Structure 1
Amino acid sequence: MSETTEVMKQMDLLRFATAGSVDDGKSTLIGRLLLDSKSIFEDQLEAVHATSQSRGYDYDDLSLFTDGLRSEREQGITIDVAYRYFATPARKFIIADTPGHVQYTRNMVTGASTADLGLVLVDARNGMTEQSRRHAVILSLLRVPHLVLAVNKMDLVDYSEEVYEKIHAEFTQFATKLSIPDLEVIPISALKGDNVVTRSEHMPWYSGPTLMHHLEHVHVASDRDMIDTRFPVQYVIRPKSDAHHDYRGYAGRVAGGVMKVGDEVLVLPSGMTSKIKGIDLFDKEIYEAYPPMSVTVRLEDDVDVSRGDMICRVKNAPKVSQDIDAMICWMVPDPMRIRQKLAIKHTTRAGRALVKDIQYRLDVNTLHRDQETKELGLNEIGRVQLRTTVPLLCDPYSKNRTTGSFILIDEASGVTVGAGMINATD
C-alpha cells in the first residue's frame, strides 16, 4: 500500500458533535443516520421496534439506538457523551452525541473538543432558543471549523419555507458575532427521514445538500495545521534485543506540520538540533508523516529527548512559557479560585499550575463578560491566568487545537477539573 493511501486512510475520517436543546431530536437524528446508512444490526432494529410498540408508538423510536444510560431513557434526555461509529463508502464517521442541558456543558465541551464539525439542531416550531445560541458559542470557542444548523421537525410545520428562512436568517445574523468559518443550514425531519440521507419531496424549495451528502463531502483535511511542525514525544523506544541494541526512536502523534526524512529539527525545551534520520510506521519505514499519524521518529544525533519534549522546526517553534492566558471550562462543583494549585497536562507534558488571576466569567448565552467574578463554578467558562512549574511548549488554540489545549487535574483526587484553551503566552 502506498504512503498516499496510508495518509488518506488516516485523513478520511470525520468527527462530528451533535448539540441541541431537549427534545430537539438529536438522538432520533443519529438513529436515523445509523439506520439509513445500514449501520444498525437487524436484532437492534427489532428490539427498537418492539419497545416502540410496547409504548404505544405508531413509529420506531430511533432515539433508543443512542440513549444508552437508564437515566437517559427514564428522563428522555441525553446526559453523557455517547460515541457512535458508522461508515459509508465515502467516509468513516465518529459521532459525539453531546447533552443539551446547561448543567452538562462540561460534557458538551469534552465531546466537541476533537470534532471537525458541529451539528446544532433546532426545533422548527421553537426556532432559535437560548440553548441554541449557547451551543453555537461553545462550538465557536472550541474552534470547531465547520458548523451545520439542522432545522429539525419540519414535518410539524408543514415543511414551511417561511419558517426555515426565518430561522436561517436569525442564526446567520447571530453567527456573525462568532468565529464560525463555515456554516450550512439544512431543513430536515429526523423522524420521517426528509433531507437526512435522501432528498425530501416535501421541500422542493430547498436546493442545498442533504445532511449525509454534506457530512460525506465537507472538506476537513485542510483544517489541520500543515505548516507548523509539532511532534510531542510520548515515549522513547529502546529495544532490549541484541538485534536492535542501537535503535533509539521517539514515538508520538504528529500534532502539526509535515515531517520528512532529512529535515533539520529542534528539540524543546533543551534547544538541541538534529536531523530526522528515519520515520517508522508500525513495521515499515515511511518518508513523511502528517497529522494525525502516530509514528516513531529517529534522529541522526544522540541528543537527549524524553517524554514531554517536542520536536519542531528550527525556525518555527512553539512558544516556551510558564505564563499561560487561557479560556477555562470548569468541570466540578467546587469552584476554581485565585491562588489555587492544580496539576496540568499539556500534550505529553505534565506539571503543576497556580491560578494567578480570573479576568472574567463569560456568559455563553449573551457573551457578557463578568469582570467582578473571583471564581468559576461548575460548567462556567472564564478567562484565566496561570503560572506553571514547567515551561509549556504551546501555540494559541486558534492556531493548533492540540498544542493549544490542556487539562487541569485535582492533585488529591486525580479528577479532571478543568479544560483549557490557550489564548496567548507571555
Structure 2
Amino acid sequence: METKTNVASGAKGAMIQQAVGVFHTATQRNTQMRHLTGSMPKVDAAVAGAKGNQSKASMPIVRCDNLTKNKGDEVTFHLDNPIGAYPIMGSAYAKGKGVGMSFSEDRLRVNQARFVIDMGNTMTQIRSPFDMRRMGRPKAQKLMNQYLDQSTLVHLSGARGFHDHRIEWTVPVNTHKDFADIMVNPVKAPTKNRHLVAGAGTVGELKANAGELVINSMDVLSMDVLDAVREWSDSIPLPPPPVEFDNDQAATDSPIRVYLASPAQYSQFATDPAFRAFQANASARARLAKDHPLFLGDAGLWNGILILKNPKPIRFYAGDEIKYCAAYDSEAESVCKVPASFGDKFAVDRGLLLGGQALAMAFGASEHSGIPFFWKEAGDDFDDKMELAIGAILGLSKIRFAVDHGDHTEFTDHGVTVLDTAVKIIKPRG
C-alpha cells in the first residue's frame, strides 16, 4: 500500500509539524555558512553548566537554540576567555597560586523576521496552471535561507558593503532605513588588531591617508598575501583559534583556518598556476576530515588556510566609506574612503579569515510553534485572497573580547579577521 505524506489543512498540530520542517530545512541547508556551524554536542558539562544548548565552540559560528530559561529578547552567551601563566618550578610553593579561569558574557538580541508571499486570490488559483501554495513555500524558504546566510556574512565582515541587487540580496545596504532593524544587533566594524589590508604582496593593519584607505589597484589577493596572513597569525598573541571539524584526524597536528574569498578575490587567486595543487591539497585533507563538505567543490588548501569562494562580495567602490577602529583599546569607529583613483575599474573586496568562536547565533522559540521557525497562511476578504508567511526568531552578533594583555587591553574580534584587497570589477555598481 502506497503511503503519502500529508497534513490536512486545519488539522491539530499541522502548523507545528510544518514549522519543524522549515526549521530542519533552514538549519540543514547546504551552504557554507551552515557548514561553518558546529554540530550540537550530545554531552558537554561546561555548556550544561551555562544552562544553554550551545554548538561546538571550535567552529566559526556558535549556535544556541535553547533559549527557554528566561523570558525576554536578550540572549547571553558564556564565553571561555583565554588565560596565560608561567609554570611553578621545582619545590617552589604552588598552593594558592592557581590561575583563575575567566568566563565572559556576550549578549545579543533576538527578533522576529518574516517573509510573506502573496498567493493570489480564488480566481488566480483557477486561472493559473501552477499550484500557488506549492510554488510559494520553496520561494519563502529560499528567502529565509538567504537572510540567514547574508546576515551572517555581514556581521562577520563588520560591514554590508555596497554591492547590491534586490533580486539577490535580502539584506539592504546600511543607508536603508530598515538596515538596523533587519540586522537586529549592531554591525561592528573590525577591531584594529583584526583588520588587515593587502599591500605589495604582504599585509598590514589598516592605514588611512588624507581620509582615504592606503591601498592601490595592484594590491590583490595572491599566494604571497596568504603567506603573509599565515605569518601574521603565527606572530601575534592570541590569534584566531583554529577551526576543528568533526572527526578531523589532523586537527591537532595540522590546524586549519578558513578564508572566505569574494568571487573576484577567488578568481584572482585561482589564476595562480599552482592552484590545482591547492585543490588537490584540500581533497587530500578532506579524507582526514571525513569528507567534510567545506573541503569539496571549489576549495583550495594552502599553508594551513582553507580557501573558499563566498557567493556574495562585501564590496566598497571608489568613494565609498569604510568603517574601522583606529585604536586598540577602543571600539569607537572612524571612517575612511576607497581611493577616488579606483574609478569605475577597481573596488575593494573584503575577505574573511575565520577561526573558532567568530559569531554567536541565537534562536528563540516562537509562540506560533514553540520552535524558532514557523509558517502561517492567512486569508483575507472572506478567504478569497491568501498569503503565506515564513518567520523566525533569531539574532546574530560577532564575538568580541576586551583582552587583557598584561600592560594594556585590546578589543579583539575573537575568531574573525578581515582582509581588504583590491579587485578588478566589470561594472561600476551592481
TM range (shorter): under 0.3
Q: TM-score, normalised by structure 2?
A: 0.24
Q: TM-score, normalised by structure 1?
A: 0.24
* Higher normalized strand content (fraction of residues): 1
Higher RCO (C-alpha under 8 Å, 6+ residues apart): 2
